[in-house]
Chains A and B, each alone.
Chain A
Amino acid sequence: GAVVSQHPSRVICKSGTSVKIECRSLDFQATTMFWYRQFPKQSLMLMATSNEGSKATYEQGVEKDKFLINHASLTLSTLTVTSAHPEDSSFYICSAETGRGHGYTFGSGTRLTVV
């Protein structure tokens, strides 16, 4: 139980285009989801906290107009990288708090490459 599905697993896009990454909780409702970014051989950096039905809370230094987060339902949060640039290439991972003994489940990640 407590599975988070993240899609796509890999995406290549051209500079200037936008890419949407989906994060779905399959067997539980996720009021809150988190989006992380991970550079090669580095740790996960929290980008934002996504709250169902309200605006996301962004961490300091994260451009909210560039990384659009939508959490329109209790099972789906999306991250859209707008006007992508090569420096946006990274591994993006979502997470949800399952509400089961304070457990967090992570998606399998999305490898974004901007060319």
Chain B
Amino acid sequence: AQSVTQLGSHVSVSEGALVLLRCNYSSSVPPYLFWYVQYPNQGLQLLLKYTTGATLVKGINGFEAEFKKSETSFHLTKPSAHMSDAAEYFCAVSEGSSASKIIFGSGTRLSIRP
């Protein structure tokens, strides 16, 4: 069985500061890992994903994440926060095969202070 743990249900940073959202996963098979962003009353938008290959993955809006197998982590970072980054962020894992289901973490709400 797969699972995802997001540490910190709420993270607050100042505009321009580093954003770090933590995600640890559990999977019995090589995982595919995802970060999604959700704005209020909207669906999910893919920020980035790791499938195979390079462990440092760059996504949209300046976000990136690094797959660390030894730490079973896939933390999301952004060097400089922008007010528009305020949203809910979900880390997710799938089994890595076609059409396998995605399991989501509990989410982290990111707030940006002016």
Does B51 contact A101, Cβ atoms closer than 8 Å? yes
A4: nearest chain-B partner, CB-CB: B43
Does A42 contact B43, Cβ atoms closer than 8 Å? no
Q: How many Å from the CB of A99 to the closest CB on chain B?
A: 7
Does A106 contact B106, Cβ atoms closer than 8 Å? no
A78 is an interface residue with CB less than 8 A from chain B: no
Does B44 contact A106, Cβ atoms closer than 8 Å? yes
A75 is an interface residue with CB less than 8 A from chain B: no
Residues in B neighbouring A93, C-beta threshold 8 A: 43-44
Does A102 contact B43, Cβ atoms closer than 8 Å? no
Does B99 contact A31, Cβ atoms closer than 8 Å? yes
When A43-B90, A102-B49 are in contact, do A109 and B43 touch as well, CB less than 8 Å?
yes
- A-B CB pair tally, cutoff 8 Å: 57
B84 is an interface residue with CB less than 8 A from chain A: no
Residues in A neighbouring B43, C-beta threshold 8 A: 6, 93, 106-109
Contact-residue bracket for chain A:
20 to 34
**Which chain B residues numbered 44 to 87 have a C-beta less than 8 Å away from chain A?**
44-46, 49, 51
Q: Mark A87-115, 1 if CB is under 8 A from B, else 0.
A: 00001010101010111111111010000
Tell which of A31, A42, A99, A111 touches B106, judged by Cβ atoms closer than 8 Å.
A42
When A6-B43, A93-B43, A108-B43 are in contact, do A46 and B49 touch as well, CB less than 8 Å?
no
Residues in A neighbouring B102, C-beta threshold 8 A: 34, 46, 95, 104
B51: nearest chain-A partner, CB-CB: A102
Q: How many Å from the CB of B21 to the closest CB on chain A?
A: 14
The interface of chain A, by Cβ under 8 A from chain B, is 6, 31-32, 34, 36, 41-46, 49, 91, 93, 95, 97, 99, 101-109, 111
Give the 8 A-B residue pairs with the shortest CB-CB distance, closest first: A32-B99, A106-B44, A108-B43, A106-B43, A44-B104, A43-B106, A109-B43, A97-B99
A-B contact pairs, 11 of them (CB 8 A): A43-B105, A44-B90, A49-B99, A95-B102, A101-B51, A102-B96, A102-B98, A104-B46, A104-B94, A104-B102, A106-B36
